[in-house]
Every structure is written in C-alpha cells, then in structure tokens.
C-alpha cells in the first residue's frame, strides 16, 4: 500500500472518531482552510468570530465557543502558511460530564488538496468534505452477456456491486414445428440484436456519467460463448465507452456469481487493482499458516514484537480493527499500567479504575491512542508494506474473524 493509502486509512479512523463527538450546544468549531489560502485571513476571521461569540446568551456555550476559538488561533500560529493540501481544524468541548470543560483540538492535513473554505459552529463537527475524499472513486464496469440474460455491475475499490440484471425474449435453439429453419434463425438474430441494443443502452446509462467524472478506469466484458464478442464488436455501447473496454473474458456463470467469476478471470488485467492484490496477500498469509513456514505472525503483541525487530515484510490490518492502547498513570506515586482494548472496554476501564492500586490515590490520568495508526507508523519506519484488508470480501471477513484483523507476513523467522 502506498503512503497515501496509509494516510487515507488514518483519515478514515479520525473521521469516525470526530463523528462520535456531540456538543451540548452549538459549541463545536469546524474550520476548513483550502490549499493555498492565506492563513492570515483565517486568523482575522477567527478574531471577528471571537468578538461575535461574546454575545452568545448561554454562559456555558459562550465559554466553550470562546475557549475553542482561542485554541484554534493558538494552533494556527504554528503555521507560517497553509499546508500544501490545506488544513482542517476541529475544536471544542469533548467532555461528556455536565459542567466539566475539556477543550480538545484535532488538526488534519488531508492527503488530497482541500477545495472547501468553511467555518461553522454546531452541535457536531462538519466531516462531509473529508468523507468525500474517502469515497472510493475509481471504478471498473462489468458486463456479462449471454443470448438470454445479462448482468451489469461495478467493481469499486474491493466491492463488486450488481447494478442491473436483464433477460431477453430470444427463443431457444430448438425450432418450433412448421416454421422454416431460416425464418426461425432470422427471428433469433433480430431478438438477439434488440437484446444487445438494450444491454448497451443500460450500460451506457450506468457507465457514461462515471466516465464523464473521470471515475471509470475500464470495462470488462464476459460470457460463456461468442455472444460477448458480438456485443463488443457491434455498435451497441456508446463510442467513448467502447474505448474503455480493457478485456473480454470467458466465464461460465451469470448474475452476481458471474461478476465475481469475471473479476477472478480478469485478475491479470486487474493485477494492479487493490481487490486482486488484497486477495493474493490474504491467501499468501493463509498458505504460510497451513504450511507452518514460520513466516507469519498475528495478534497485537506478536505483531508489535515483529515490527520492533524489523522482521515485518507486509503488515495486514483489517478495516474492522478497532483496538486502542491505553496508559493509566498515578500522578501521586508514578504507578503506570499499559493495556490494549476496544473503545467500549476503555470506557469501562476508566470508570472502574478510581484509585491507584499501589498508593490508593484518586489522582489518575489516562492517555489513549489508536493501535492501528501506531503500528502503521512502525511499519513505515522499517520500510514494510502496509495493506488495509477490506470487510467487503470473503477473504477479508475470514481474516477478521480468524485473526482479529491483525497479522503480518515476515521477512525471516523470529523466535
């Protein structure tokens, strides 16, 4: 996975975290600064917003908005100019306890240039511009064609989607009694022609808007006999879409299974496509497991050790992996505890750990960070590849269920 892909994964995790935060009033500040925008103008606007916020009637909301704006202005002083791809700031009181203020700032330098200029105070953070960046845009058109049925679908990211299933009125090959063979064949040819025209019209309706948006990377056509070649060679698809046909493949099935077989059979054509690459990696992981080669490891503790030793060749992390690393510390005697857990377990852990087990003090602080982000950074430091495994595929689901969504293919065996 490229550095940008790792950044996209980290961005997705941050967006999920931001979406969970709720303000008590309209006190959460979202600030988007586009690439190339003058940061001094933003500072000027925030100073004006600070003056306006003095008039907020609710004392608590006023205090929290002013605190958020102060924090935002403080942070912007760290930048001489807007980062190359822009900057998104999210600031506000994240405390869930009534009467308790905990102003937190989340700064995101996005992996793609921001083209949105926005300031908003609301009960939730505005995350839509970042979510749009996360949307998988590249798509491959899929068409399976037979005399009597066709399926139109999309491969977007790692997900195969059935868009439309069509059936025809083409009569079977057996000739009805009393009809001449030639007349019957002409009827079949005419019905086939009409059906392929209909497939082309439906496919054009689905694929042309994607092509115009620059999202359609190619079209693959499949089928069990010569019909697919007739469809490709005939004048059925829009002329711009015909140029995007990158492969014609023999397949046995139709419907959803046909689309899956089409992607499978076109793996050479799509060898750079992430769904195929991901499948090969997961299958390689399972192959090492079955053969007991000693060249894989799984589980947070084991993977962390392998990364520390520099032994990881490829780090595999599921989209569903949601562990956080938590450090509890007694500010009185210095006692510390470091644990890995889920977000929900963390909330229970915080509630239950009221006093220090060593000295009995209630002065305990907690620090929390995302395990996936930490491991990705460790992998990048040793030059290891990172692959985020989707939950949209059977292989991805199996990897998540069997190994909790975390594993590594190693460069060499470790003890």
Sequence-distant (6+) residues with CB within 8 A of 7 are 111
Q: Is the pLDDT of residue 9 over 60?
A: yes
In the block, which residue shows the tokens 């299958």? 283
DSSP string, 323-391: EEEEEEEETTT--EEEEEEEHHHHHHHHHH--S-TTT--S-EEEEEEEHHHHHHHHHHHTT-EEEEEPS
Other beta carbons less than 10 A from residue 190's beta carbon: 11
pLDDT, position 2: 46
Domain 3-134 identical in fold to domain 139-172+191-272: no
CATH of region 3-134, choose from 3.30.960.10, 3.40.366.30, 2.40.50.140, 3.40.50.2020: 3.30.960.10
Helix/strand/coil (H/E/C) assignment for every residue in 240-293 = HHHCCEEEEEECCCCHHHHHHHHHHHCCCCCCCCHHHHHHHHHHHHHHHHHHCC
Instruction: Assess if CATH 3.40.50.1220 describes domain 273-415.
Output: no
What's the pLDDT band for 1 if we cut at 50, 70, 90? very low
Dihedral pair phi/psi, residue 60, rounded to 5°:
-65, -45
DSSP 232: H
Whole-angstrom distance, CA of residue 40 vs CA of residue 43: 5
Which CATH code is given to the segment(s) 139-172+191-272?
Answer: 3.30.420.60
pLDDT, position 171: 64
Which of 110, 136, 135 is closest to 10 using CA atoms?
110
What crossing angle do the helices spanning 274-291 and 394-403 adopt, rounded to 10°?
40
In the block, which residue shows the tokens 């907020």? 56
Q: Indicate if the alpha-carbon torsion angle 281, 282, 288, 294 is positive or negative.
A: positive
All structural domains of the chain with their residue ranges: 3-134, 139-172+191-272, 273-415
Stretch 147-168: mean pLDDT? 91
User: Can you give the pTM of this predicted structure?
Assistant: 0.64
pLDDT, position 189: 83
Which of 163, 165, 394 is closest to 275 using CA atoms?
394
Q: Is the pLDDT of residue 182 over 60?
A: yes
Tens digit of each residue's pLDDT (9 = 90 or more) over 294-318? 999 999 999 999 999 999 999 999 9
What's the pLDDT band for 283 if we cut at 50, 70, 90? very high
Instruction: Show the CA angle centred on residue 347, arms to residues 341 and 352, nearest 5°.
Output: 100
């Amino acid at each position: 996975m490229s550095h940008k892909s790792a950044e996209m994964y980290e961005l997705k995790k941050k967006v999920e975290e931001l979406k969970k935060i709720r303000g008590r009033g309209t006190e959460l500040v979202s600030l988007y600064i586009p690439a190339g925008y003058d940061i001094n103008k933003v500072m000027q606007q925030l100073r004006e917003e600070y003056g306006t916020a003095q008039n907020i009637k609710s004392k608590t909301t006023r205090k929290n908005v002013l605190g958020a704006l102060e924090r935002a202005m403080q942070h912007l002083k760290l930048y001489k100019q807007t980062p190359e791809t822009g900057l998104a700031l999210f600031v506000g009181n994240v405390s869930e306890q009534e009467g308790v203020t905990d102003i937190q700032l989340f700064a995101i330098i996005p992996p793609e240039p921001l083209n949105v200029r926005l300031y908003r105070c609301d009960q939730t953070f505005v995350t839509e511009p970042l979510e749009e960046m996360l949307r998988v845009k590249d798509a491959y058109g899929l068409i399976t064609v037979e005399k009597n049925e066709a399926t139109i679908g999309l491969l977007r990211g790692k997900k195969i989607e059935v868009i439309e299933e069509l059936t025809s009125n083409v009569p079977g090959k057996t000739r009805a009694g009393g009809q001449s063979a030639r007349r019957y064949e002409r009827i079949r040819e005419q019905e086939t022609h009409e059906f392929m025209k209909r497939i082309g019209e439906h496919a054009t309706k689905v694929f042309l808007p994607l092509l115009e948006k620059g999202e359609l990377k190619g079209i693959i056509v499949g089928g069990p006999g010569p019909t697919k070649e007739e469809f490709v060679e005939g004048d059925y698809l829009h002329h711009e879409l015909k140029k995007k046909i990158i492969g014609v493949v023999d397949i046995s099935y139709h419907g959803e299974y046909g689309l899956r077989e089409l992607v499978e059979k076109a793996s050479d054509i799509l060898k750079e496509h992430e769904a195929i690459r991901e499948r090969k990696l997961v299958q390689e992981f399972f192959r090492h497991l079955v053969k007991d080669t000693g060249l894989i490891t799984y589980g947070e503790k084991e993977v962390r050790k392998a990364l520390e030793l520099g032994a990881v060749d490829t780090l595999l992390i599921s989209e569903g992996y949601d562990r956080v690393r938590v450090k509890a510390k007694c500010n009185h005697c210095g006692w510390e505890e470091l644990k890995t857990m889920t977000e929900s377990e963390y909330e229970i852990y915080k509630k239950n750990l009221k006093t220090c087990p060593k000295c009995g003090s209630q002065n305990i602080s907690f620090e929390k960070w995302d395990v996936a982000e930490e491991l990705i950074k460790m992998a990048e430091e040793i030059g290891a590849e990172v692959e985020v495994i989707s939950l949209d595929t059977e292989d991805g689901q199996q990897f998540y269920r069997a190994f909790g969504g975390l594993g590594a293919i190693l460069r060499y065996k470790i003890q």
